[in-house]
Each structure stands twice: as C-alpha cells, then as structure tokens.
Chains A and B, each alone.
Chain A
Amino acid sequence: MSRIGVFVCHCGENISRTVDVEKVAAAAARLSGVAYATDYKYMCSDPGQGLLKKAVAEHRLDGIVVAACSPRMHEKTFRNAAKSAGLNPFLCEMANIREHCSWVHEDREEATEKAISIVTMLVERVKKNRKLVPITVPITKRSLVIGGGIAGIQAALDIADAGHEVVLVEREPSIGGHMAQLSETFPTLDCSQCIMTPKMVDVANHPNIRLYTYSEIENVEGYIGNFQVTVRKKARSVDMDKCTGCGVCTAKCPQKKIPNSFDRDLGMRPAIYVPFPQAVPNTPVIDRANCTYFKTGKCGVCQKVCGPGAVDYEQQDELVVEPVGAIVVATGFELYDIGPKPAGSPYEGYGEFGYGTIPDVIDGLTFERLASASGPTGGKIVRPSDGKEPKQVVFIQCVGSRAREKGISYCSKICCMYTAKHTMLYHHKVHDGQAYVFFMDARTPGKNYDEFWRRSIEEEEAVYIRGMVSRLYQKGDKVVVMGSDVLVGVQVEIEADLVVLATAVQARTGADSLAQKLGISYDKYNFYSEAHAKLKPVECATAGIYLAGACQGPKDIPDTVSQASAAAAKVMTLFAKAELEREPIVAKVNERNCVACFYCKKVCPYGAVEEKEIRDRNGNLIRVVAYVNPGVCGGCGTCQATCPSKSVELDGYTDEQVIAMIDAL
C-alpha cells in the first residue's frame, strides 16, 4: 500500500480563485493510498517546501503529488525538495491545476471537479513510479571543431585556452575560410587579413590544438562525451614534417595556368600551390587533377627542386580516429552561384543578371578579391574583361535572397552592409567613379551599422536606388542596367562598366551529408537547426554537438565570433564536470522478452539501440537481443510504442504509469 502525500497549492489566488483547493485536498485525502493531503498558499516558497519535507518525515510518505502549476515551471523545485527530504526525486509528480485548469476555466464547480480528476490521475501515476537514479557517463575532455574559418578558429582557440585539447579539421589546404578572402570588414573598415592572420598563426602554434588541414570528416560514432570521429587526411603529396615552406616548388612548377579558386578564378596558380601567401600551414598541396606528373607520369620538377625532399607522389589518403567528447560544427556558407545550375546544388540556377555570360558582372566575393591588397590585382579595382578601371559601378542587392520564386525566401543578412562597404572601398580607390546601388530595403541593424550605411550615401556619394533591376545586357563594352526607382516612380537606365551582385548566402554543398554523419537536423535550406531558436541557439538537438557561424544561418563576422565563443563556452561547461549526469528518462530492454526483431533499432532517431549478444559461460552464443545505450538514448519512447513484444520500456513513462492515469479517468 502506498503512502502518498498530496499538496495542493493556492498559488496566491491564481488557483484558489477558481478552484476550491480545500475541497481538492479533502477529495485527495479520500483516495486510496493517500496518507496525507493538505493545501497551502505558496507551495514553492521556502515554508511551503518545508511543509512538504516535514510531511514526508512525519507521515513516512513514499510518493508526492504537488497540485500546483505546470511541471515545466516547478517540477525541478519540488523534486529537489523531495530529494532533500530523503525521497527519490522521481517519486514526486506535479498535477498541473493552474495552466491547465484554474487559468483556463471560469466556472468554480467545473474547475474544482477537473482539478480533483487531475490530482486523481497523478496519484494513480505516482503509485506506479519507480525510483530512478541519474545516469552518469564519462567524458572525453577533447573537442572536435569542424571548419577552420573564423567561427572554427575562434571556438578552437577558446576551448584550447581553457586547457582542453582541440582537433580542428579543415577541408581546404589552409585555414582561414571566407574571412581570409575579404578585403576590409564593416563597420570599422579594418583589414580582414590584419585581424585574421594572427589568429590563424595562434591556431598553428597552440599546444592544445591539433590541426588537420586538407582533411574531411569520414565518419562519426558515439554520443555526448564519447564520440569516435574518423578523419580522412587527403593526400597532400607533400610531407608536412619535411617541408620548410620555402616556396621553390611553387615557383618552379611549369604548370602555372590554373585558375585560383581562392581568388575567385581571377588569378592563376601552379599545380603545386599554397592557396594564398599567408596560408596556415604554409605547406603546398599538389592539385593532382591538374598536375602534369599525375596526368602523364612525366615532369617531377617539384620533387627535383625540393631541398628537404618533402614532395611525395606516392602519398595516400590516411584515416585517423580521434576520440572526442564534444563537437563544434562551423562549416560556414557558400555564395549562391547565379549562373547555370551547379552540379549537386539543390537550387535551380538563377539564370539572370548575366552572371557567367557577361564577364563584367561579378559577385560580391570577387569584388572583395579585387579590392584586397593581397588579391590578384594588388588591390586595384579593374574590370575582368579588359583590365580598365570602371568609372560607373552598379551594385545589385538581394540577388537570390528574399526571392521565393527562386527557392530562397530568407534574407542573407550581410549583403546590405557589405554592399555599403563596397561602395566605400570603390570610392576610396576610384575617386572619380560613381557607385549605384539597387536595393529593396536597407537592413542595417547592429552596432554602428546604420551609421555606416548612412555614411556610404552621405559622405561616400553612393547613389541608392530603391527598386529591382528588370534587365541587364551587354552593349559595346558597357553593361546596361535597366531598373525602376520606385520612390521617384521613374525608369532608370545606367551604362555601367562593372556590375557587382550581392548574391545570396546559402548552406555549403554537402551540408546535408555531413549532418547525416553527425546525426543533427537541418532545415529546408540545409542550414543546421539549433535546439531552440531563442533559448538554445548554439546547441543541436543532438547532445554534445554545437553550432557556430554561418552553417546555422547567414551571419556577419561579429555574430559568428559571438556564437563561436558561445559554443566554446558550452563545450567548456560540459568539460567542467568529471562525469556527465543526465535525467534517467531512458529506455530499457527486457532481455527475456525481446524477440530480436530490432524494430526499435529501425525507429530510434539516436541510433541508441545496439545488438547485444548473450552467451553462456562457455562463450557460446545463445541469442541476440536489443540493448539501449543509456548515454545515447534521448528518451522519446518511440521504441516502446513500436515494440511488438512490449519488451522495451521508457523509464518515467512506462505502460503501467500511463494506463494507471487512463484508468483513473
């Protein structure tokens, strides 16, 4: 026979106004198994909790129902009170008679009746509750950071500075990401290289950071605190330990006419190359697809000229397994290619504005390379077609963004600001030039952002035309841009020398396949989903995986750095504990009943179900049953509802508990 205590809260007047709390307590006292029932003005207050603890001791209670507010509000409070009274916290339940009763009903009689019935259901449930013990799992205090852009670099440095080892994996031959490609950054116009490269060097020199460049994530197994990550180190064809970074090989390589993707194909690079002079690590890579030796077997110049003998044509891809406890995903973004549809892209090509067909129509990142002092033109702004200085430049915003009919309905967030920056950079370099901007809205929220945008108009003489471009075509060596100025209500036609498109920010191609490896969710645009839009902006729903930067959605540098540091803080919070403690709401398998159909394994969203072999004392296999790894189980209970033999049970939500509640209707 149970000895349950029922505590009915008045919540000041919030409950007692519509619910006759004394009547509820009296009715509860008559229920079988209830040893004590009372009501109190504020159960959650210190005296209220004291009352509860006293009653547990005096009446030897073995279960508690607190009829008060929503368990989402105070379940933890009362479970802690129960714990300090010496009771297992999971023997305490809350009956929600405020949000689900007193606040939503006016009729006192009806509300009281409903409150009694809710309390009855919970009393029946508590009778079937079991003592549960929080689960502890060990933590590997190393972290994986995927992506070596500014987000990954910031997160890696923060975690490493806290004294934890970090494995930083970057797909490209050098870290740096998009930020290394930028010229100057808004709203302060400080040079991107100047603030970025010291951080890159810090990463390379940090004793706690293990850097894998030119590497990709092959496979991820395990769960929070205990991931096993397989990293594929792609063959660089250069021995990183031997190479001194002298650069003779790149200078002597006879194959020099390969478009440099770092410079948005404006410049050329050799087949053995470092993507840019400040690259970290400063070790070249052989582009095997374009190398004469790999194509024909003849050449070998780089190997001959290499003093330390670092060039190794036989190098193979290498797989490394790294045990880590937490993962920060910082894979960044890609620009919407508005030419013809790129292979593998989920989006249709934009097919407008002449990008890819008219040489003097470029995107924003290409303009960054033109304006960058370390870029292919040394910072001189010229037209790609004939190398002349453009005197009239048209910038078009929202190309691809906010275009539902083109498949992207979101705002890319950074374009208004970087276009304003571009007009300034252009005006600084071409004093007699004129910049025009076609825009839909100027969205400039952020510290000093709107002032920056105003400055581009008021001081740097950019002409902003509100309206979209209707047509764009080549006429002689000019590009004619036709559009409408909707504020004035006239048609506008500008003969431009150069057109810069602020193309949409979109998720990386292949973001979805990485998400599937990691077991994290992503939205319809392939941006990774945070666990809660407001309250858990850096956590994934999958425990132990955190997000930083534009892989979660379009972001500027300050937001990216903030989120990266936030993700690092979350990792450090996790690593601050010796062991991981979590709610024991997990599924358990009754091995005697399990028929090994493994339907549970098929439906489990966490991959928590494993196949367990039962052997006799001689080691002979008797049978295979399902086993739920409590560290991985998220506690959704889908397995239990699916199990045909009813041999898996979710603690805290067992069939017994649910049926007891239904039967108490």
Chain B
Amino acid sequence: MHAEKVKHDFEPKIVAFVCTWCTYAGADLAGTSRMQYPSNVRVVKFPCTGRIDPVFILRAFQKGADGILVSGCHPGDCHYMAGNFHARRRFAAFRKLLEFVGVDLARLQFSWVSAAEGGKWVEVVTELTERIRAMGPLEEFKELELEECWSGKIDTPELQEAYKAIP
C-alpha cells in the first residue's frame, strides 16, 4: 500500500533545532508509531530551546538550509522550568531582525511539540517541507557563503546607498 513516490525538482534542506525533553522525544514517538514524513529534515538536539542561539539559525541558513524549525516544550512544560520562555522571547526579537535582513519569515518556523505529540511533529515537518519546497531554495545566504564575506563588493544601489550612509 505504498503511495507512488512523487519526484520533485527541488528538495529543500530543513534543519530542526529541538529540545531533548519534548520535541526530540515527540519525534522518537513518531518513529515508534511508524508515522511517515519527508526525509528532508535533519535534527540537531539541544538540552533546551533556551540553549538555541540565534547564531545557529543564521549559520544553518548560511550553510545551505532552506528552512528551519525550532521546537520545544509547550509553555509551562519546560524541563528546566523557564528555558522555553527565554527562547520564545529571544526569537520574537530575532524574527524582526531576520525580516529586516530580508529573509522570508516563512522559512523559519517555531512550534511546541510535546513528547506525546508524535503526530504533531509529523504535521509540522510535513507542512514546513512542503511550504519550503514551494518557495524554492534560499539563494541569498548561499551566495554570501560563496563570497565568504562582502569583501567590498557592493553591487546593488541599496547597498551602495547604505554604505555611503556609514559615517
């Protein structure tokens, strides 16, 4: 009863930053329940979402991720009492910054998946993968990665203007 596999032109790279107590365990539960979801996601485990530095998200985009998922325990359920609250607050600010830089916020998703929510994990990963697949690859950051750094190459009028504005 295997559905015929659809081949897509573009397979996005998805990175999931998850906490070990809730979402990692939820993903384990999806496995033990033999649920199926796209194989695009790579999981990086943290003790707590509170440990996740926004730098990791930037780094992952830079290294070729097309979409990123950050997921932890539901508010109030944090194993470390308050880590997920710190994460929530931190990412609320970080999203603004990311938007300012020009990354489409649809590429970055936050969710709460508990250890009992294998089904929700599948849902979240599947939805995100399909959304990113429709959006296409994230080229901007990859170009930056290729150039290593800006090295003075200011080739758009906006950047030139911004450069001039620096006192």
Binding site for B on A (CB under 8 A): 70-72, 96, 98-101, 103-107, 110-111, 113-114, 117-118, 121, 521, 523, 541-542, 585, 603, 605-606, 634-638, 640-642, 650, 652-653, 655, 658-659, 661-663, 665
Contact = CB atoms under 8 A, between A and B. Distances in A.
A603 B86 contact: yes
A104 B51 contact: no
Q: Which residue, of B34, B56, B87, has the highest number of chain A Cβ atoms within 10 A? A: B56
A638 B51 contact: yes
Contacts, number: 133
Contacts of B31: 70, 98-100, 103-104
Contact of A106 (B2, B30, B81): B2
Interface of B: 2, 5, 13, 15, 20, 24-25, 27-28, 30-32, 34-37, 39, 42-48, 50-56, 59-60, 63-65, 76, 78-83, 86-87, 90, 122
B48 A636 contact: yes
A121 B13 CA distance: 14
Nearest to A112: B39
Nearest to A106: B2
Contact of A103 (B34, B45, B83): B34
B126 to A, nearest CB: 11
Contact of B15 (A106, A521, A634, A662): A662
A104 B46 CA distance: 21
Contacts of B5: 106-107
| Cβ-closest 10 pairs across A and B | A99-B31, A637-B51, A638-B50, A636-B80, A636-B48, A605-B81, A103-B31, A99-B28, A641-B53, A110-B39
Nearest to B34: A103
A80 to B, nearest CB: 19
A543 B101 CA distance: 42
A118 B54 CA distance: 22
B47 A106 contact: no
Contact of A99 (B32, B80, B87): B32
A662 B36 contact: no
Q: Which residue, of A70, A542, A636, has the highest number of chain B Cβ atoms within 10 A? A: A636
B51 A653 contact: yes
Contact of B52 (A99, A541, A606, A641): A641
Contact of A635 (B43, B47, B64, B78): B47
Nearest to A117: B42
B34 to A, nearest CB: 6
11 contacts: A96-B43, A100-B28, A104-B34, A107-B5, A541-B80, A603-B86, A636-B47, A638-B50, A641-B52, A665-B13, A665-B64
A641 B90 contact: yes
A635 B80 CA distance: 8
A141 B52 CA distance: 37
A659 B28 contact: no
Contacts of A663: 59, 63
A548 B43 CA distance: 38
Nearest to A636: B80
A605 B27 CA distance: 26
Given A104-B37, A661-B44, A541 B81 contact: yes
A661 B39 CA distance: 18
Given A634-B80, A641-B51, A662 B35 contact: no
A70 B52 CA distance: 21
Contact of A636 (B30, B51, B56): B51
